Amino acid sequence: MRRSIGLAPALPRRAAGPLARYRPPELEEAAAAFIAHLTSPGDLVLDLFCRSAAFLRPAIRQGRRAIGVGVNPIGLLLAGLEAQPPDRPHTLTAAFTYLGDQPKGERPLRHHLTDLYRARCPTCQADGVAEWFVWDREAGYPYLKAVRCPRCDGVQEGPTDEEDIAAARRFDPKGPPYHYALGRVVPPEHPARERAAELVGLYTPRNLAALMDVTLRLEGLKIGRAARAGLRGVLLEALDRGSSLDPYGEARPRPRTLRPPARFLERNVWFLLERGLDQTTTWLLDRHPLPHAPDLTHLLTESRPAYFLHPSPARRVDRLLPPESVALVLADPPRPDGVFWALCALWSGWLWGDVPLARAMRPFLRRRRFDWEWHRRALQAALAAAATRLRPEGYLVLLFADPTPPLVSSACMAAAGAGYDLVGWGADPDAGCHLVWRWVGRRAAPIDAETLVADLTAAAERRIRSCLQERAEPTSPLLLHTAVYAGLAEEGRLARALATVDHAPADAALLPPLALTAQAVETGLTRVPLRKDEDTGWVWLPTGRGKAAEPLADRVETRTLEVLLSRPEWTTADLLGEIFAPFTGPLTPDLALVRACVESYARFADGVWRVREEDQPRRRAEEMRALEEALKALGRRLGFQVGTGKGWRVRWREGRRDVYLFALSPTAALGPYLLRGRRIPGSAHPCLVFPGGRAELLAHKLRRDPRLARAAAEQGWHFIKFRHLRRLIAEGLDRRLFETMLGLDPIVEQEGVQIPLVLGGEE
């Protein structure tokens, strides 16, 4: 390995453009980092489940060649649109106008479509055009409408009238548009015919007629390739929003079932197209064309950076590419999203008709359970095919945003089952998950089932303990889950589970490997005595006072300062990469923590991070010394006996009794005081004095780690900023005032965990 493969610390970007509401966030920056570290210029990068240009773009930008394959032509359409946008926004607008000008009978399509939604304004009865109607599914007619009124101001909402209901019923549900729509998806005798008919039935007859009119005319349009792709993107958005799947009056980001809600929206198709045009144009505004290889042969034989998209199921990639041609496989696995896949199968038929591209989607029409075991098998087949195309020193990187435990399990099982070895990983609820693999052709021998289950359970338990011990702090369930599966993969246990179950005789009555492993992990988990934060679900191992190891958060903070001091200036990517470098796998810190550390110690200006002047070690040390002296002087002035010792920087005593104990810290490391510190005598007030620049980080740590907040409250800690203390000293306060101020101090509020108001207010 060229370097340790930690988390490529970059936040995913929300998907944009057509169908964005179905698509997971994209990890372009993370992909860029893997391409930079794992390949060389001229190398071929394979996007195994291509559905955007997020992996193509960084490959080309770094002088690599890229090929995107995928079975879903809609994913490839969107990738192609981003990679080869129409040369000017105007091109798409002009093509859209041209589409609207196409004749429908005697009139332009645009007028015909608009007229389908003519309705009276519910307020003033003037003739207007409805933006949408609301249908009662059971009653089967629209009862509410929103009309753009030429007389009233804006859109008027109100009940429908008889004319509206008659207009909606004018369309024969089984008329020519219905048969055209159905015939374009599957031929009459096809086994999925009935299912396709159900999907076609997800549109009101009026919207179906309108959408088929547009589809038909778009096909006959004589326009360039990029403009046609752009219009298809626009139409896709209308196909989605124009169905009966969106409810009225409730926020639901996207349909989760293929059944219209009890009250559903019927949106005006022409307005949807206009909106789709705006959206698509905006989306493509900052996209620059990437060099496109004219065909696959050119891409494979020439070394100049270019990309090529090829419709193909990922599991057939071995028929497409020569052996050992790929340096890096990037795979963002499709989610088992039955609704989205079925809709894509429907729309692919409508957009492309009876061509291989769309035919390949027909299997997804069938009602099937998209369960995780199915997902694992499909993914494993794809990864096995890709393995044969990888160069011997090549890598597979599975990376995905919005990681969920089942997705992580499925990905680990699939790669292990396809013969890969895990060589690095990272997981973060916000930044996503990545798993880096090399293909070694691992073959595992089956073992007997009982031994297998016991072995998996024990191994899972060990991994859970070691992960939590290493981190020594509350840990997200996602990271813990990934640590367990990564561990089982590294130890060859997943491959063995697959070999045992997949090749077991039919009467062995074993669960599918994924379920079996999940069960073993669950059992392993329950055997570990865990503490859990009920709000966040984060878990940790209980430890006795004084026995706690240094929490990961404190180690990350130390590392952040070391890295910042090692060079005067840092770009964000370099800085994060360097901070994360030693924290791989189970030690992956959450990006939110690392950002809090960086923002505490460094300032960002002119595109680079520089350590804060006051955090230069010499300056900080001088400040600490001065403060120590000042504290001692203050203590004497207030009539205390002042000393030091027992691990405290300054002690204010009265007789033999400690009254105030001060720890002075330039950092926000709380572990040494709150988790591992010495016992505090009952009479004493422990005070942690820290620089104001640490306040936010300190608050972040207290929020993140409930153990710290609880310990701070139980032990009665006061948190005091340097500057604030200096001001108090300068103002010449007396003992009573000092006590009052500490008394007023809410210390650490259990809820929301705030830095004390009085002693640590805004400065």
Residue 692: CB minimum distance to Zn ion, A = 59
Whichever of 151 and 619 has its CB closer to Zn ion, that residue is: 151
Interaction mask 70-109, Zn ion, x per CB under 5 A: ----------------------------------------
Q: Please, which contacts does 302-307 make with residues 24 or more away whose CB atoms are closer than 8 Å?
A: 302/65, 303/42, 303/65, 304/42, 304/65, 305/41, 305/42, 305/59, 305/60, 305/63, 305/64, 305/65, 306/60, 306/65, 306/66, 307/56, 307/59, 307/60, 307/65, 307/66, 307/67, 307/68, 307/83
- Return the closest-CA partner of residue 47 out of 254, 270, 292, 312: 312
Contacts of 548 (CB under 8 A, 6+ apart): 472, 671, 675, 676
Whichever of 117 and 439 has its CB closer to Zn ion, that residue is: 117
Residue type, 657: R
Binder of Zn ion out of 14, 40, 124, 714 (CB under 5 A): 124
Residue 132: CB minimum distance to Zn ion, A = 16
Whichever of 123 and 519 has its CB closer to Zn ion, that residue is: 123
Using alpha carbons only, give the angle 418, 52, 273 rounded to the nearest 5 degrees.
140
- Return the closest-CA partner of residue 739 out of 759, 755, 709, 722: 759
Tell me the window of 89-97, 113-121, 159-167, 363-371 that interacts with Zn ion (CB under 5 A). Answer: 113-121
Buried b (16+ CB within 10 A) or exposed e, 684-699: bbbbbbbbbbbbebbb
Residue 594: CB minimum distance to Zn ion, A = 56
Torsion sign over Cα 345, 350, 353, 354: positive
Burial (CB count <10 Å: 0-12, 13-18, 19+), residue 94 = middle
Tell me the window of 116-124, 401-409, 467-475, 753-761 that interacts with Zn ion (CB under 5 A). Answer: 116-124
Binder of Zn ion out of 44, 121, 497, 675 (CB under 5 A): 121
Whichever of 117 and 364 has its CB closer to Zn ion, that residue is: 117
Give the separation between CA 235 and CA 52, rounded to whole angstroms: 17
Tell me the window of 117-125, 233-241, 364-372, 741-749 that interacts with Zn ion (CB under 5 A). Answer: 117-125
Size of the site for Zn ion (CB under 5 A): 7
Residues in the chain: 763
Restricted to residues 199-238, the positions that interact with Zn ion (CB under 5 A) are none
Interaction mask 498-527, Zn ion, x per CB under 5 A: ------------------------------
Whichever of 151 and 170 has its CB closer to Zn ion, that residue is: 151
Residue 206: CB minimum distance to Zn ion, A = 22
Residue 133: CB minimum distance to Zn ion, A = 17
**Cβ proximity of 24 and 35 under 8 Å:** no
Helix, coil or strand: residue 678: coil
The reply on whether position 625 binds Zn ion by CB under 5 A is: no
Whichever of 147 and 284 has its CB closer to Zn ion, that residue is: 147
Q: Which residue in this structure is represented by tokens 């492993």?
A: 517
Kind and range of the H or E run holding 199: helix 193-200
Whichever of 149 and 664 has its CB closer to Zn ion, that residue is: 149
Whichever of 36 and 152 has its CB closer to Zn ion, that residue is: 152
Whichever of 4 and 123 has its CB closer to Zn ion, that residue is: 123
Residue 161: CB minimum distance to Zn ion, A = 13
Burial (CB count <10 Å: 0-12, 13-18, 19+), residue 368 = middle
**Cβ proximity of 494 and 442 under 8 Å:** no
Residue 149: CB minimum distance to Zn ion, A = 3
Give the separation between CA 160 and CA 119, rounded to whole angstroms: 8
Residue 122: CB minimum distance to Zn ion, A = 8
Phi and psi based region of residue 241 (left: phi greater than 0; alpha: psi -120 to 50; beta: remaining):
alpha
Residue 126: CB minimum distance to Zn ion, A = 5
Residue 131: CB minimum distance to Zn ion, A = 13
Helix, coil or strand: residue 158: strand
Residue 124: CB minimum distance to Zn ion, A = 3
Whichever of 158 and 405 has its CB closer to Zn ion, that residue is: 158
Restricted to residues 137-196, the positions that interact with Zn ion (CB under 5 A) are 149, 151-152
Binder of Zn ion out of 62, 91, 102, 123 (CB under 5 A): 123
Binding residues for Zn ion, rule: CB under 5 A, are 121, 123-124, 126, 149, 151-152
